[in-house]
Amino acid sequence: MKRTPLRASLLITACITLLLIAGGIGAPTLGALPVSPAALSAVTDASPSAPARRPVNVILFIGDGMGYGQLSLGAPAIACMPIQTRVTTHALGGAVTDSAAAATAMATGHKTTRRHVGVDEFGRRLTTVLEAVRDAGGLTGLVTNAALTSATPAAFAAHVSDRRSTRIIAAQMVETRPDVMLGGGAADFLPGTYDRSHPPLEQAKDAGYEVVFDSASLAAAQRLPLLGLFAGDSLDYHLARDPAQQPSLAQMTAKAIELLSAAADQAATATAAGRLGFFLVVENDLIDIACHDNDALILPTEVTALDEAVAVALEFSRTDGRTLVLVTADHETGMVTVDERGEISFGSDEHSAWEVPLFAEGPGQDLFDVDLIDNTDIAMLIAQALGLYSTFVETPSNSAATPAIAGAR
């Protein structure tokens, strides 16, 4: 497989650093950032070379705004995943995307215009891969440290022409019914100033959701469907959050995997048949926020927060043997570069048109073993990996929509 010099350098730096740690030479650091115990544990377990078989589960991580520069700050669990490729991210009508258009491309396999969520440029509904998994009998989940109603998670479970229609998004997400939804955005689920009739939170309770509002309640949760709302809007930065109120991204990921995998196994036992397990999307939105703010102190800690969540998924995948783990980004933010001394430079405070990385490990990883893909390919390849490609592509809302500009298979 071809690798760009930057990606090869990232992989070699992470793995050599960990070899030095294992040999007792120096402190456990990657660049200027300490390597977390969770990430270290995930990487020191040799990454398996997975056979080319079909996964039962797929976990998709999205580092909002995360390019190669951000990853070079310290993401050893991600960097040592065996498959690495590059992803183009342009939106319909422009080289620079926003999270709405990019997440819609990853969720549906179709390009759209900025601010559009789960719809094409004409506002026509597009079926998402999350909905395809649900309709095939699988379980689904969304985890984020942003508001659940923000563009990236919303694009997998809602369909609006303006990403700012967050209360409509909240109601649509409850209707779509992911089995797990964990993040912020409580304000969009509670009664509003001008809309107090049966808000989305009450709709969720009517639909059977257990609703939790803090870390202890999340840890105690034992059933699906589960809705966790831990902030009015986005959660706080990883280092600034109150751990009693706001769980970490890794903790939310662990709970989602725990509940989804247990429910999928129970369903498989009850039917005594082969199963489609679960599809889980996990986003760290705060990488993007730190890059917009050109915050060189916060950015490395948010990359680590994502890496620790990925480490949780990789540990599960390597034990389970049936789970494909993917890590990518919706776009790059800030034109971030890091020099040999570990100093961070920002070229802007906005999104860029730079390519972003994609990493894969687990059954089905070879589908991603190419030098370059478009973000529309991600949904198509996930559907293909899960054996849903034909039904996903032939869904009326998808077959009638404008074809993706690049990469549709």
Question: Average pLDDT in the 334-358 region?
Answer: 96
pLDDT of residue 85: 97
pLDDT of residue 43: 38
Question: pLDDT grade, residue 12 (50/70/90)?
Answer: very low
Question: Average pLDDT in the 303-332 region?
Answer: 97
Cα dist. 336→222, 353, 367 in Å? 41, 12, 29
Tell me: domain 39-399, CATH 3.90.550.10, correct? no
Q: Is the pLDDT of residue 315 over 80?
A: yes
pLDDT of residue 45: 42
DSSP assignment of 72-128, as one string? TTS-HHHHT-SEEEEEE-PBTTBSS--HHHHHHHHHHS----TT-BSB-TT--B---
Dump pLDDT digits (tens) for 222-251: 999 999 999 999 999 999 999 999 999 999
Q: Is the pLDDT of residue 136 over 90?
A: yes
Question: pLDDT grade, residue 197 (50/70/90)?
Answer: confident
Question: pLDDT grade, residue 254 (50/70/90)?
Answer: very high
Question: pLDDT grade, residue 269 (50/70/90)?
Answer: low
pLDDT of residue 53: 80
CA distance 366 to 50: 9
pLDDT of residue 23: 32
Dump pLDDT digits (tens) for 39-96: 334 433 434 444 448 899 999 999 999 999 999 999 999 999 999 999 999 999 999 9
Are 91 and 78 in contact by the 8 Å Cβ rule? The answer is no
pLDDT of residue 199: 93
Crossing angle (nearest 10°) for helices 37-44 and 5-22: 100
Tokens describing residue 31: 């660049």
Dump pLDDT digits (tens) for 81-132: 999 999 999 999 999 999 999 999 999 999 999 999 999 999 999 999 999 9
Please state, rounded to an integer, the average pLDDT across all residues of the chain. Answer: 86
pLDDT of residue 3: 36
CA distance 213 to 230: 5
Q: What residues are annotated to the active site?
A: 99
Q: Within 10 A of 232 (CB to CB), how many other CB atoms are there?
A: 14
On whether the pTM is more than 0.95, the answer is: no
Cα dist. 298→92, 256, 303 in Å? 32, 26, 9
User: Which of 83-92, 263-272, 386-395 has the lowest average pLDDT?
Assistant: 263-272
| End-to-end CA, the chain | 21
